[in-house]
């Protein structure tokens, strides 16, 4: 019995050694089509036999959508830190499963243009139009619980996961303009109301195993 357990433990260790990367770099293509698109890269470091830590950072890309005066000059960054535990793998398919917890923060700014019609006189016989351009700050932080699959192709890998995220979302704009231009509707994307909410989470990353 002891020999069987020892053999099983040896196979599990061999499986993890073949599947779980000691160090890997990854790229997240889905973030390029996010509403606030980012070029996002991550680095995974093994810290124990079944445990790793992953750090991720993304730079917000502005696609120069000058036609959309609500979201001009997008800029900022996104940060994530994740701890994951690999609990099962199959050496013959170079495939492993994991559960993970991730904390994140999004720090994004963009500009908005609003045009209003005002009057020189009480009867508004001489109206004029005034344009205001101002900065809006989007701040989000939260925590995600997820489960994932990591598939190895030699030194290349595919990392897919899904889970549930608790999000704390805040938008900040100049106080003198916030009430004047507050026009939220149910179908607005994104929803700019300050709120705490749950939402599903999906991720897909391609990577390369350094060692």
Give pLDDT tens digits along the chain (211 positions): 554 444 444 455 545 666 899 999 999 999 999 999 999 999 999 999 899 999 999 999 998 777 788 899 999 999 999 999 998 755 556 788 999 999 999 999 999 987 777 776 777 777 777 777 889 999 999 999 999 999 999 999 999 999 999 999 999 988 655 555 555 555 667 888 999 999 999 999 999 999 8
- Could you tell me if 208 and 157 are in contact, meaning their C-beta atoms sit under 8 angstroms apart? yes
- Could you tell me if 71 and 84 are in contact, meaning their C-beta atoms sit under 8 angstroms apart? no
The tally of CA atoms less than 13 A away on the side-chain side of residue 137 is 7
In which residue are the tokens 């995220």 written? 165
pLDDT for residue 15: 55
**Phi and psi angles of residue 173, each rounded to the nearest 5 degrees, phi first:** -140, 165
pLDDT for residue 84: 97
Residues 188, 201: Cα–Cα separation, whole Å: 20
**3-class SS at 92?**
coil
pLDDT for residue 69: 83
Residues 68, 114: Cα–Cα separation, whole Å: 11
- Could you tell me if 165 and 199 are in contact, meaning their C-beta atoms sit under 8 angstroms apart? yes
Q: Which helix (H) or strand (E) holds 71?
A: none
pLDDT for residue 178: 52
pLDDT for residue 191: 85
CA-nearest of 136, 150, 56, 57 to 97 is 150
Question: What secondary structure letter does DSSP report for 29?
Answer: G
pLDDT for residue 95: 86
Residues 37, 35: Cα–Cα separation, whole Å: 6
């Amino acid at each position: 019995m002891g020999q069987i357990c020892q053999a099983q433990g040896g196979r599990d260790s061999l499986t993890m050694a073949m599947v779980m990367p000691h160090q890997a770099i990854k790229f997240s293509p889905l973030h390029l089509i996010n509403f606030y698109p980012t070029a996002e890269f991550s680095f995974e470091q093994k810290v124990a036999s079944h445990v790793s830590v992953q750090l991720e950072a993304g730079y917000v890309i502005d696609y120069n959508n000058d036609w959309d005066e609500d979201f001009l000059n997008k800029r900022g960054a996104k940060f994530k830190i994740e701890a994951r535990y690999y609990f099962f793998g199959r050496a013959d398919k170079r495939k492993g499963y994991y559960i993970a917890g991730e904390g994140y923060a999004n720090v994004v700014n963009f500009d908005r243009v609003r045009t209003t019609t005002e009057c020189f006189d009480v009867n508004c016989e001489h109206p004029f139009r005034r344009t205001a351009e101002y900065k809006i700050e989007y701040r989000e932080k939260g925590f995600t619980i997820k489960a994932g699959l990591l598939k190895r192709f030699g030194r290349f890998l595919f990392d897919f996961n899904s889970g549930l995220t608790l999000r704390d979302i805040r938008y900040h704009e100049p106080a003198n303009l916030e009430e004047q231009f507050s026009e939220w509707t149910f179908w607005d994307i994104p929803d700019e109301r300050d709120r705490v909410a749950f939402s599903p989470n999906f991720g897909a990353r391609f990577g390369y195993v350094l060692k």
